[in-house]
Amino acid sequence: MKDLGKDYKFAKQLQLRFEETHIRKSKAAQQIHVAASTMSDYINGEYAVSHDSKKALASMLGGLALRWSSGRADFHIISFMDDPKLRADVFAAIVSAKKEERERLEQEQHYQELVIERPGYITRADQEFMDSYWKNAIEEVAAEITKLIRLAKYEGRDPQPLIDAFNDALGG
């Protein structure tokens, strides 16, 4: 794909969902009121997909990865981890989540000791360590999201009703 400043990560997830669901691209294009060629451009990452079209496609195609990728693009939230070095399976997701948690926990005590210091006493090395802690914490969240997505797919479960119930009861 050419780099046109478009969202190739969403395009990749869109293509995967079409492959997994066997929904015809022409049918999807018709339902969101775009030309079939435009849908092909979306899938190839040639055109940015509007928020409303992403919402309609996610509703039609389902899939947590597609929804998370849309949220990442549209709202700048943490998404799932898509590490090209790792296999895209449930075992890799579990191992990765444990690794990311371990890395964060190894840093946590020192981070907590630094974060309570007054700003004038924090050195450049301290700030770099704190930044590293945050990087690892974010990677841990992304790895846990990946694990959730891959476990649901492995089990053949649609976790959306559970996510909706959580969001209704405890979601911010």
Residue extents of the structural domains in the chain: 8-75, 90-158
CA–CA–CA angle 157, 69, 128 (5° rounding) = 115
Q: How large is the angle between the packed helices 51-61 and 64-75, nearest 10 degrees?
A: 170
Kindly state the DSSP code that residue 119 receives in the 8-state scheme: G
Integer Cα distance of 7 and 148 in angstroms: 23
Cα separation of 117 and 112, whole Å? 9
Looking at the whole model, is its pTM more than 0.95? no
Count of residues in the chain: 172
Model confidence over 34-51: pLDDT tens digits?
999 999 999 999 988 999
* Cα 51 to Cα 38, 89, 132, 136, distances in angstroms: 15, 29, 32, 30
Q: What does the pLDDT read at residue 6?
A: 67
State which amino acid sits at residue 126. D
Fold of 8-75: 434 Repressor (Amino-terminal Domain) (1.10.260)
pLDDT tens track for 6-28: 688 999 999 999 999 999 999 99
Please tell me the predicted confidence (pLDDT) of residue 73. 87
CA angle 131-136-138, nearest 5°?
95
In the predicted structure, residue 1 carries a pLDDT above the cut 70: no
Say whether pLDDT at 3 is over 80.
Answer: no
> pLDDT of 130-140, one tens digit each?
999 999 999 99
Is the pLDDT assigned to residue 161 strictly greater than 60? yes
